[in-house]
């Protein structure tokens, strides 16, 4: 059993980047916390970050081929990437969309997500905790796309 947590552009700078919006936690700290939960459950965690759209597409494809679920914070590609939506559509696995910030409380250009229509669900606005909640939802096996 494995879970993929995929992070998009600029999330490598978490902790230093606009902390008033995204909080103080670094991506490494989030990875460590999720890693501890997965370890207790005997689940492998593939935690990745890239600033390149194609990397995210490839990783979604890989998770799909393996039939392993994905927690995806696509960063700004959330609002722009048809390629990512297509990858998720083609992947035979569930994807939970996460955001640290509540994108609907922010600029208009963040209100549209190419990921949401093809995600099982969306968790946003809880800072780093959004990731923990997404993992919790996955591990609980919740939702209509449960297979």
Pick out the residues of the known binding site for substrate: 73, 79, 86, 100-101, 110
Which residue has tokens 């927690």? 71
Active-site residue flag, 99? yes
Q: Is residue 99 a contact point for ligand DQA (CB under 6 A)?
A: yes
Rounded CA separation 121/88 (Å): 13
Q: Please, what's the b/e burial string for 25-45 (b: 16 or more CB within 10 A of its CB; e: otherwise)?
A: bbbeebbebbeeebeeeebeb
Pairing of β 70-73 and β 2-7? parallel
Q: Is residue 10 a contact point for ligand DQA (CB under 6 A)?
A: yes
Active-site residue flag, 131? no
Smallest distance, Å, CB 65 to ligand DQA? 25
Structure tokens at 116: 């949401």
Which DSSP letter does residue 114 get? S
Smallest distance, Å, CB 74 to ligand DQA? 7
Name which of residues 67 to 96 contact ligand DQA (CB under 6 A): 73, 75-76, 78
Q: Is residue 103 a contact point for ligand DQA (CB under 6 A)?
A: yes
Choose among 61, 33, 63: nearest CA to 46: 63
Using CB under 6 A as the criterion, what x/- string covers residues 105-134 for binding ligand DQA?
-----x------------------------
Q: Is residue 23 a contact point for ligand DQA (CB under 6 A)?
A: no
Structure tokens at 137: 């939802």
Q: Evaluate whether 105 touches 38 at the Cβ level (below 8 Å).
A: no
Smallest distance, Å, CB 67 to ligand DQA? 26
Which residues sit at the interface with ligand DQA, rule CB under 6 A? Answer: 10, 73, 75-76, 78, 99-101, 103, 110
List residues with catalytic annotation: 22, 99
């Amino acid at each position: 059993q494995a879970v993929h947590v995929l992070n998009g552009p600029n999330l490598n700078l978490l902790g230093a980047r606009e902390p008033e919006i995204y909080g103080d936690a670094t991506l490494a700290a989030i990875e460590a916390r999720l890693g501890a939960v997965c370890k207790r459950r005997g689940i492998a965690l593939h935690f990745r970050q890239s600033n390149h759209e194609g990397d995210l597409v490839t990783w979604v494809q890989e998770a799909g081929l393996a039939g392993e679920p994905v927690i995806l914070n696509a960063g700004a590609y959330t609002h722009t990437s048809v390629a990512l939506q297509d990858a998720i559509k083609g992947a035979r696995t569930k994807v939970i969309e996460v955001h640290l910030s509540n994108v609907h409380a922010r600029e208009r250009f963040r209100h549209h997500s190419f990921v949401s229509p093809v995600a099982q669900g969306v968790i946003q606005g809880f800072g780093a905790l959004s990731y923990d909640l997404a993992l919790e939802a996955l591990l609980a096996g919740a939702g209509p796309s449960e297979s």
